[in-house]
């Protein structure tokens, strides 16, 4: 007798596939409000600075394919992975509709972001739930995986590798970052900041790091205040305090995309040079086999837990 089938919905932010798609992409992010010509040109210029397009779509597809292969190895013919993007094709709703067309009636969802925030992971989950409800697809969510030991071990290895690029690794200040969000999440008791800190502290304990801090990057261009301090402010403060060797570990980002390739590799590096600092960052996890092992195991564990309680 065949085991029951599960869908696995892997969700990510998405990115335009060409410069021609940037305006539609930006408009979608802005909830249907087109950007001003100035804002549009600024975003296009950032994509041009990293080569014209972001590799995020290809990386995300490779991650989904790798998760599929591992889930098949765990339980053949049970899992089918679907990829859904928040702001680009294939959209989350498209993935859910394909799942329903394939006859799948229950699925595990996983967002490619380790820390939970109501405005990030929670928004992905809400979009999936809205699409799934009328189609009779039952969803169970993985809210976070920031504290999974294997993930922390992998992140610690990335930090250790990057520290070797400095002449005196013991003198390096390590900054753990994640994507900033509006400060109003704090009033609701959102766990996002505490989860980033917990990740960084756990990695620091594994490596015996003594000189660490936590910050935010890539804040949106809206009038309301966003979580801080911003990574650029942190670099200025560290330089003023006499720190010259700094490593950024963007622990909230798992793949190379604009917030890593531009915001850190170009914008932060330019500031660091002006400040006379040696700045490095940890390599993104992307489709690292160890990383995909972790994600597949989380999906399988969640599905088995649901089966145990059925």
13 and 45 housed in the same domain: yes
What value does the mean pLDDT of the chain take? 96
pLDDT at 57 over 70: yes
Residues 108 and 154 in one domain: no
Domain assignment of residue 1, yes or no: no
The answer on 216 and 122 residing in a single domain is: no
Q: Is residue 257 part of a domain?
A: yes
Find the distance separating the first CA and the last CA of the chain, reported in whole Å.
Answer: 18
What does the pLDDT read at residue 204? 98
Same domain, 133 and 153: no
Same-domain check for residues 11 and 140: yes
Contact 133, 163 (CB under 8 A): no
Closest listed residue to residue 136, CA positions, set 172, 165, 100: 100
Q: Are 255 and 171 in the same domain?
A: yes
Q: Provide the domain count of the chain.
A: 2
Residues 110 and 92 in one domain: yes
What are the helix (H) ranges across 249-288? Answer: 258-261, 269-274
Question: Is 90 exceeded by the pLDDT of residue 2?
Answer: no
Residue 19 lies in a domain: yes
Confidence band for 101, pLDDT divided at 50, 70 and 90: very high
Q: What range defines the domain where residue 76 resides?
A: 6-145+287-309
Per-residue pLDDT at 177 exceeds 60: yes
Query: What is the phi-psi region of residue 163: left when phi exceeds 0, alpha when psi lies from -120 to 50, beta otherwise?
Result: alpha
Is residue 228 domain-resident?
yes
In a domain, 17, yes or no: yes
1: pLDDT confidence band, cut at 50, 70 and 90?
A: very low
Whether 119 and 166 share a structural domain: no
Whether residue 97 lies inside any domain: the answer is yes
- Is 194 in the same domain as 220? yes
- Mean pLDDT for the stretch of residues 138-142: 98
Question: Does 138 share its domain with 173?
Answer: no
Q: What's the rounded mean pLDDT across residues 1-11? A: 82
Indicate the burial class of 205 (C-beta count within 10 angstroms; 0-12, 13-18, 19 or more). exposed
User: Looking at the domain assignment, is residue 264 inside a domain?
Assistant: yes
Lowest-confidence pick of 43-47, 185-189, 225-229: 185-189
Give the CATH number for residue 69: 3.40.50.1400
């Amino acid at each position: 007798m065949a085991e029951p089938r599960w869908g696995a919905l892997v969700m990510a932010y998405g990115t335009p596939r060409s410069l021609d798609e940037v305006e539609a992409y930006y408009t979608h992010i802005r909830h249907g409000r087109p950007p001003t010509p100035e804002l549009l040109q600024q975003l296009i210029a950032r994509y041009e600075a990293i080569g014209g397009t972001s590799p995020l779509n290809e990386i995300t597809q490779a991650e989904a394919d790798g998760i599929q292969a591992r889930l098949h190895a765990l339980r053949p013919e049970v899992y089918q992975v679907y990829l859904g993007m928040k702001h680009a094709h294939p959209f989350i709703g498209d993935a859910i509709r394909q799942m329903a067309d394939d006859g799948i009636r229950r699925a595990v969802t996983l967002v490619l972001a380790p820390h939970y925030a109501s405005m990030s992971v929670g928004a992905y989950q809400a979009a999936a739930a809205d699409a799934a409800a009328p189609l009779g697809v039952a969803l169970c969510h993985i809210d976070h995986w920031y504290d999974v030991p294997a993930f922390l071990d992998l992140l610690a290895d990335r930090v250790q590798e990057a520290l070797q690029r400095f002449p005196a690794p013991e003198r390096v200040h390590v900054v753990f970052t994640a994507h900033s969000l509006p400060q109003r999440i704090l009033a609701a008791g959102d766990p996002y900041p505490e989860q980033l800190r917990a990740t960084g502290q756990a990695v620091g304990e594994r490596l015996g790091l003594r000189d660490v801090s936590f910050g935010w990057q890539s804040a949106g261009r809206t009038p309301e205040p966003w979580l801080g301090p911003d990574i650029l402010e942190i670099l200025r403060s560290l330089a003023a305090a006499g720190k010259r060797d700094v490593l950024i570990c963007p622990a909230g980002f798992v793949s190379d995309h604009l917030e890593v390739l531009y915001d850190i590799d170009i914008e932060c590096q330019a500031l660091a040079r002006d400040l006379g600092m040696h700045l490095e960052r940890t390599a993104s996890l992307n489709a690292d086999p160890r990383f995909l092992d972790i994600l597949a195991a989380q999906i399988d564990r969640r599905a088995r837990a649901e089966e145990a309680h059925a």
